[in-house]
Amino acid sequence: MDFNLKIALAGEGGQGVQSVAEIITEAAYQAGFQALYIPNFGVEQRGGVSVAFVQISREPVSAPKFTTGDIVVALSHRAVERVRQYVGEKTLLVYEVGLEDDVLQVYGERQRRLAVPALAIAQEEMHPRVFNVIILGVLVGVTGFLEHRDVEQALERQFGHKFAQDPDLRELNYRALDRGYEIGSGKREVGNGR
């Protein structure tokens, strides 16, 4: 089966965009895929939009940067516009639900999209610091190519030192991953190009 997944993620610095990219890349690599990730912080080192490019394939990946993504994630107002150039006709745009007006203004009604209430879930059901892990779960659910255990192991490698200091944080992150996965897997047909 030919498989080549291109994901661009963008958000404000501190929203965990780079962590999501690293974790999904690590999980894919450990699952036997070829996977590359490259961060892009733009010219603004502080207060700018953070962008990450991920490419996952069964074949060697020569460079993680690409022209059009299969999935583009926008987590802030500025990120919606910043990733515009990577959105094509078949791209699935995943975004925080509060950005609906921005998304409609920039992309219109025809763009394939999935609005995710990650911020509300994090603030009301869990903790704001797991916002990005909810988004990670959505991506894992939408794409459907990774085993849950591979993602959990990558989470452990990324945050294990924090989990050791605060064991409740592990359970919180796993719940956030599961909650995002529920949202994403419910939309899996969208992520598979239908």
Helices (H) and strands (E) in the chain, counts: 8, 6
The 10s digit of each residue's pLDDT in 173-182 is: 999 999 999 9
Is the pLDDT at 190 greater than 60? The verdict is no
Instruction: Report which of 151, 118, 158, 147 is spatially closest to residue 134, judged by C-alpha positions.
Output: 118
CATH numbers and ranges of domains, the chain: 4-186 (3.40.920.10)
pTM confidence score: 0.89
